[in-house]
Amino acid sequence: MKVFNRHNIAGAIAALGILSTATAASAQTTYNIASMADFTGPYADVMKDLIGARRPAIEWWNAEVGSKLGIKLNSKDYDHRYDAAQVASLWPGIKAELNPIVVLGVGGPDVAALQGRLPADKVPMIMSTAGYGFAWKPDPWIFNPRPTYSHEAAAFFEWYRGKRGGTGPLKVAVISSEASPAYVDQHKGIEKYAKDNPDKVEVVEIVFTEVQPTDLTTQINRVLRKGAEVISIQTNTAAVVATKRAMQAVGKKVPILMSSHNGVLDSGRAVGDVKQMEGDFEVYAMAVPTEEKTPSRAFFDMLTAKYNMKAQWTVTAVQGLAQTLVALRAIEAAAAKVGADKITGESIRDAMLANDIKSDRIFSVLSDLDFTNEAPFPVKGLKAGIGTIKDGKYAAAAQDAPVPVLNKW
């Protein structure tokens, strides 16, 4: 079976590069990682935990894994304000300064700006977010450890339908917007899944709104009359708040489904009280950051105790840990294949495609991963976590909901 295993590899002479240093005494080769960030744009409020989780994981790896392999990793953050034009502008300088062997991406702007460049530059990028149908192409250089948002929503629909019981399809309404390609992709994937699985899901309506709607009372009243049992919102917290207010106005309530970037805690804070999200859900193909004693929580606590972890135990921290651990295990596999002093971006990509990453090797932050040339994300075998608010507190409704296989849209 293809598995990333830890190997002891002889050290090597220093590699050249602005941030690359080594000494003959330690026989250590230093490589650089480019860390994309948004400190001044729309996701600046969650970046502290995402970036804050990346750094301690790299420090842990350097101390406890890389030191035995003769490898040290440096990383540097670049603020691109979640803007594709800024990413494109920064990239030539990043490449010249760092000559990175891997990039840790943040979101859609990284994909839009670099999807066509990275194959020529031979640098893989590992994302923290779910994927998109429009990026579902063969021979990837950008890797999503999570599937598409539509895959994750479908995992919830199947889980919730089973919980509901009965034989009829789950009736779903989707709040979306045509202002963003990512938002359009999310509802298109759900529509495709419903069309291919009419016995499981029925989309009663796609509600198109502005990106940040203020009043959805008329629309929500309409979809509730159509029998919607779940309202799926994978866009942003503003849409969740408007939907919650609308249901309060009409005196009815059905569960709202959210994603990792607009989940129950973030949306609860935006609506004014997390307790108002009682019975609502979030879904993503990662561990749910609850207070339960899980392997991922134990790893996080170890980083806090020994490696100066300042991030809080949040969904965005899990995202930062997940992408970093995937990168670190891929670097180990590349070193085992080509040698500690010969790692390149291309060898890391080859390792991603040639080796499974078992969940226990990444502290159960993600399920087992099997990347192929078929897509930027594993197309089968993934599990999703489902978070909720229960009795006024954040809790895991499920940690291992199967992600169904979806047809491409």
Q: What pTM does this model have?
A: 0.89
Is residue 11 domain-resident?
no
pLDDT in tens, 71-94: 999 999 999 998 999 999 999 999
User: Is the confidence at residue 313, as pLDDT, over 90?
Assistant: yes
Q: What percent of the chain has pLDDT over 90?
A: 88
Residue whose structure tokens are 């009795």: 391
Measured between its terminal Cα atoms, the distance across the chain in Å is 31
Distance CA 201, CA 193 (A): 8
pLDDT at 250: 96
Closest listed residue to residue 258, CA positions, set 279, 289, 275, 287: 279
DSSP assignment string, 48-87: HHHHHHHHHHHHHHIIIIIHHHTEEEEEEEEE-TT-HHHH
Each residue's pLDDT tens digit, 301-312: 999 999 999 999
Same domain, yes or no, for 33 and 143? Answer: yes
pLDDT value at residue 12: 33
- Tell me what pLDDT residue 180 has: 83
Q: Which of 8-22, 296-310, 316-330 has the lowest mean pLDDT?
A: 8-22
The answer on pLDDT for 213 being more than 80 is yes
Report the alpha-carbon distance of residue 75 to residue 93 in Å, rounded: 15
Same domain for 124 and 263, yes or no, is: no
Element spanning 237, H or E: helix 237-250
Residue 44 confidence (pLDDT) above 90: no
- Domain assignment present for residue 408? The answer is no
State which residues form the domain around 219. 151-284+385-402
What is the DSSP-derived secondary structure letter of residue 241?
A: H
Is 11's pLDDT higher than 50?
no
C-alpha separations of 277 from 243, 386, 394 in Å: 11, 14, 10
d(CA 273, CA 282): 16
Instruction: Calculate the CA dihedral of residues 140, 144, 146, 150 and round it to 10 degrees.
Output: -70
Residue 317 near residue 311, CB atoms below 8 Å: yes
217: CATH: 3.40.50.2300
Position 50 in a domain:
yes
Q: Per the domain annotation, does 4 fall within a domain?
A: no
Q: Is 276 helix (H, G, I), strand (E, B) or coil?
A: helix
Q: Is residue 24 part of a domain?
A: no
| Residue-level pLDDT at 43 | 81
DSSP helix/strand/coil, 33? strand
DSSP 8-state assignment for residue 260: S
Split at pLDDT 50, 70, 90, the class of 295 is very high
| Domain assignment of residue 15, yes or no | no
Length of the chain: 409
Question: In the structure, what pLDDT confidence band is assigned to residue 32 with cuts at 50, 70 and 90?
Answer: very high
Regarding whether 140 and 79 lie in a shared domain, the answer is yes
More confident site: 293 or 13: 293
pLDDT at residue number 19: 40
Tell me which of 78 and 25 has the higher pLDDT: 78
Count how many domains the chain has.
2
The string of pLDDT tens digits covering residues 160-206 is 999 999 999 999 999 999 988 889 999 999 999 999 999 999 999 99
The whole-chain average pLDDT of the chain stands at 92
Whole-angstrom Cα Rg for the chain: 21
* Residue with tokens 């207070």, as numbered in its chain: 291
Tens digits of per-residue pLDDT, 365-409? Answer: 999 999 999 999 999 999 999 999 999 999 999 999 999 999 999
pLDDT digit string, tens, across residues 110-165: 998 999 999 999 999 999 999 999 899 999 999 999 999 999 999 999 999 999 99
- 389 and 260 within one domain: yes
The answer on 299 and 202 residing in a single domain is: no
Q: What is the pLDDT of residue 26?
A: 53
pLDDT of 179 reads 84
CB-based contact 355:4 (threshold 8 Å)? yes
- Count Cα neighbours of 174 within 13 Å in the Cβ-side half-sphere: 28
Within 8 A by CB and 6+ apart from 381, the residues are 367, 368, 370
How far apart CA 368 and CA 381 sit, in angstroms, is: 7
Residues 130 and 298: their CA atoms lie apart, in Å, by 24
**50-61: average pLDDT:** 97
The mean per-residue pLDDT over the stretch 51-65 comes to: 98
